[in-house]
Homo-oligomer: A and B are copies of this chain.
Amino acid sequence: MEYPRGSVQVQDIGEQKLLQILQRFCPPEIIGDDAAVLSTEPDQSLVVTTDVLVDGVHFSEITTSPQDVGWRAAAANLSDLAAMGAFPLGITVGLALPGNVAVSWVEELYQGMTECLQQYKTPIVGGDVVRSPIITLAITAFGQVQPNYTIRRNTAKVGDAIVVTGVHGASAGGLELLLHPELGKNLSESDRIALIKAHQRPQPRLDVLPLLQNILSPHPPAGMDSSDGLADAVVQICRASGVGSVLESTQISLPTAFKHCLTKEQALKYALYGGEDFELVLCLPKEPAHVLVQQLGKGAAIVGTIIEGSTVVLRNQHEKNPDQVLTLSQGFQHFKS
């Protein structure tokens, strides 16, 4: 990576001083012990999730500023909590980095994380900073959920509607625009910005949880987030629940900008396999599903139905293409890529 000349590097100030600088992103009351101490509410389950991001594998200086790396990392972990129905309590941040990284880069990384977290009043409660040849960011988020509201993958039932909480493909579209700006030549400025923002500043759908509690009490939906793509989410839910499903390709909500820069087939591929949209994919009875979609608006839709069997079929009703069977192997196999 290239850093501004003359900037102060991590190795110039040492670990203790770096930790001091980073402490201003943490609430003062939890600093300076071997571990953070937090209060949980009674009768709530603890929910824990962890993600590791590696420079050059999961993010790149070309498409992502340190603020955006931080935002996206925090958003991905909060999205995993949302996918369980859990409200966040805090995150820990493990950061490994070379000594020649600019201190300002690290500050901007924490700034981005904090900006995302502050929307949900979620603190950074601790962490570790160590030396490494490559920048690696390990975030663990924990939250709490009332046991009755826990969203799991393995409870989808035959007859359930499959709901998406928003459009799919926007994040992958935004990344593509950053890598190949010429693809956006037919797009309005606002469409272009919207796609790029979807990639750089995705929103975890914690806002969906209170709606679910109102609609469904006391039965939570089955579901997960679409961080690895919509196809992956539906296949994973069906596999865990021992059911099949039919996805209606024409019902999948796409970014409006896609009409101006992608074929229908390309657009659908982005939506199914692009990933990192961080929407929720929820399976629930048809009536509450309709209520939920109406309340959510903005791209929320019923995109399919849970059926018997074990096959996930993508129905291309209004296309020349035949129906397709979706499997996990079509998704992203990280170690083979």
Q: Which residues of A contact B (CB under 8 A)?
A: 10-11, 13-16, 18, 32-40, 42-54, 56-58, 79-81, 83-84, 86, 89-90, 92-96, 99, 125-134, 136, 138, 140-143, 145, 150, 152-154, 224-225, 240, 328, 333-337
Contacts of A10 in B (CB 8 A): 335
Whether the Cβ atoms of A33 and B125 lie closer than 8 Å is: no
Whether the Cβ atoms of A96 and B45 lie closer than 8 Å is: no
Nearest chain B CB to A163 CB, angstrom units: 16
Contacts of A42 in B (CB 8 A): 42-43
Whether the Cβ atoms of A86 and B35 lie closer than 8 Å is: yes
Whether the Cβ atoms of B11 and A132 lie closer than 8 Å is: no
Bound: A127/B58 CA distance, A? 16
Bound: A56/B95 CA distance, A? 16
Q: Closest residue to A52 on the B side, CB-wise?
A: B94
Whether the Cβ atoms of A36 and B57 lie closer than 8 Å is: no
Whether the Cβ atoms of B46 and A11 lie closer than 8 Å is: no
Q: Closest residue to A154 on the B side, CB-wise?
A: B32
Whether the Cβ atoms of A142 and B46 lie closer than 8 Å is: yes
Bound: A76/B225 CA distance, A? 33
Bound: A57/B86 CA distance, A? 36
Q: Closest residue to A43 on the B side, CB-wise?
A: B42
Contacts of A154 in B (CB 8 A): 32-33
Contacts of A336 in B (CB 8 A): 11, 14
Nearest chain B CB to A311 CB, angstrom units: 19
Contacts beyond the supplied A46-B142, A54-B130, A96-B136: 5 A-B pairs with Cβ under 8 Å: A49-B126, A50-B93, A52-B132, A54-B133, A132-B134
Contacts of A138 in B (CB 8 A): 50, 52, 94, 128, 136, 138, 140
Contacts of A34 in B (CB 8 A): 49, 79-81, 83-84, 153, 224-225
Contacts of A134 in B (CB 8 A): 132-134, 136
Bound: A320/B223 CA distance, A? 70
Q: List 25 A-B contacts (CB under 8 A).
A: A10-B335, A14-B333, A16-B333, A33-B152, A33-B224, A34-B80, A34-B225, A35-B49, A35-B141, A40-B40, A46-B142, A48-B125, A50-B92, A50-B127, A50-B128, A52-B95, A52-B96, A54-B130, A54-B136, A96-B136, A130-B334, A131-B335, A132-B134, A132-B136, A134-B136
